[in-house]
């Protein structure tokens, strides 16, 4: 059976997984269970050149085909499949939030001879090359360092990664699960919560990959919360912040061979500049009057806020990289660095 042409309902369902939903944290005692916040009252999880769209609107878009006219997996079915997997593992989800970019516009055959200014809305067709979505897990919110965070699942799709001029081949997707700060909707992703690129022929493949990611992530939920909470206890001076920013700028110009000897940095100059502006102007995480520097928690939030200007297909990897860099710098500040992150402070 060709699952790519079937509705999401054909995806196999293994039944609700039984998980331990008690969250004893021990030390530090800064992450506590709280009620789920209003999912509609927070900023966008990505900005850049994206626009919001509803699932209903997205389902009315064209679905691109391969050269032999076989269907690709639509954005809508990708979303529904990942959400089905998340419900199996985590339980109920909030309504989906979707951002799209790079619209591909066309016109219906009957309007082929019309001038552009004569086209009606019924004459036009469209699909979006790039799409990202998220949903919060209902009842899995915490407070970390004075900020509400929500366990969040999502996915990314970029049709440009699929060479549609060929016959059908595995299509590329990204699926993720991580904690999101409500006040700014910053995503905090770890490597075990980010699938990277997965290649799938059918919706059943997407479902299986998502199930594997979500079940693998589950035992790590409280571990990463503890790591995030500990970031508040390590502070960097303004001089150290300047050193880090300068090294990030320098990294982009290093010879490739030298870059390979250092920790990976995916955050470019535009995002670095945005983080510098946030150091003085961000309403939630800027340097406060009378304080010397900022905490590593605030540094992480400045970085994840800055990478929200990335294109849709880049932002998950850059979110993960922002957390990796911050944890590495924390180790360097505490004298426990074994991976070369002290280079950013020198």
Which structure tokens are listed for 172?
């590329």
Cβ atoms of 86 and 78 closer than 8 Å: no
Residue 223 is given by DSSP the state H
pLDDT at position 4 is: 35
Which structure tokens are listed for 343?
């280079």
In the three-class reduction of DSSP (H, G, I as helix; E, B as strand; rest coil), residue 286 is classed as coil
Query: Cα dist. 151→44, 81, 88, 214, 286 in Å?
Result: 16, 18, 15, 11, 25
pLDDT at position 41 is: 52
Closest Cα partner for 48 from 285, 279, 315? 315
Q: Rounded to whole angstroms, how far apart are CA atoms 209 and 82?
A: 9
pLDDT at position 248 is: 97
pLDDT at position 291 is: 86
Query: Cα dist. 291→6, 235, 237, 242, 280 in Å?
Result: 58, 10, 9, 16, 12
pLDDT at position 42 is: 57
Name the pairing type of β-strands 97-107 and 171-181: unpaired
pLDDT at position 117 is: 81
Number of H helices and E strands in the chain, helices first, is: 9, 10
Which structure tokens are listed for 16?
């609700």
Using only the alpha carbons of the chain, give its radius of gyration: 22
Residues 6+ apart with CB under 8 A from 128: 53, 58, 61, 75, 100, 101, 102, 103, 104
Cβ atoms of 148 and 183 closer than 8 Å: yes
pLDDT by residue, tens only, the chain of 346 residues = 333 333 333 333 333 333 333 333 333 223 333 334 444 555 899 987 899 999 999 998 888 888 888 899 999 999 999 999 999 999 999 999 999 999 888 777 777 787 878 778 777 778 899 999 999 999 999 999 999 999 999 999 999 998 888 888 999 999 999 999 999 999 999 999 999 999 999 999 999 999 999 999 988 888 899 999 999 999 999 999 999 999 999 999 999 999 999 999 999 999 999 999 999 999 999 999 888 899 999 999 999 999 998 899 999 999 999 999 999 999 999 999 999 999 999 8
């Amino acid at each position: 059976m060709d699952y790519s042409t079937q509705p999401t309902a054909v995806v196999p369902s293994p039944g609700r997984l039984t998980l331990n939903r008690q969250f004893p944290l021990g030390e530090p005692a800064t992450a506590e269970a709280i009620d789920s916040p209003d999912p509609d009252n927070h900023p966008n999880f990505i900005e850049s050149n994206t626009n919001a769209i509803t699932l209903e609107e997205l389902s009315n878009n064209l679905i691109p085909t391969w050269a032999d006219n076989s269907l690709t997996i639509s954005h809508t079915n990708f979303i529904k499949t990942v959400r089905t997997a998340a419900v199996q593992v985590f339980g109920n989800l909030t309504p989906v939030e979707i951002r799209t970019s790079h619209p591909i516009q066309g016109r219906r055959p009957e309007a082929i001879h019309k001038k552009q200014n004569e086209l009606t809305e019924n004459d036009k067709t469209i699909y979006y090359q790039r799409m990202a979505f998220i949903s919060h897990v209902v009842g899995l919110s915490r407070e970390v360092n004075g900020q509400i965070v929500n366990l969040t699942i999502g996915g990314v799709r970029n049709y440009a990664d699929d060479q549609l001029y060929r016959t059908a081949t595995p299509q590329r997707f990204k699926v993720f699960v991580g904690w999101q700060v409500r006040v700014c909707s910053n995503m905090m992703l770890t490597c075990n919560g980010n699938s990277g690129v997965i290649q799938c022929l059918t919706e059943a493949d997407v479902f299986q990959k998502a199930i594997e990611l979500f079940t693998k992530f589950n035992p790590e939920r409280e571990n990463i919360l503890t790591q995030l909470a500990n970031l508040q206890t390590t502070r960097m001076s303004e001089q150290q912040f300047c050193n880090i920013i300068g090294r990030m700028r320098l990294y982009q110009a290093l010879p490739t061979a030298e870059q390979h000897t250092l920790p990976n940095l995916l955050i470019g100059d535009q995002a670095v500049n945005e983080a510098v502006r946030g150091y003085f102007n961000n309403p939630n995480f800027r340097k406060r009057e009378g304080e010397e520097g900022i905490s590593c928690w605030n540094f992480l939030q400045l970085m994840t806020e800055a990478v929200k200007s990335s294109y849709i297909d880049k932002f998950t990897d850059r979110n993960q990289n922002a957390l990796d860099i911050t944890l590495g710098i924390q180790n360097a500040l505490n004298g426990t660095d074994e991976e070369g992150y002290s280079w950013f402070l020198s």
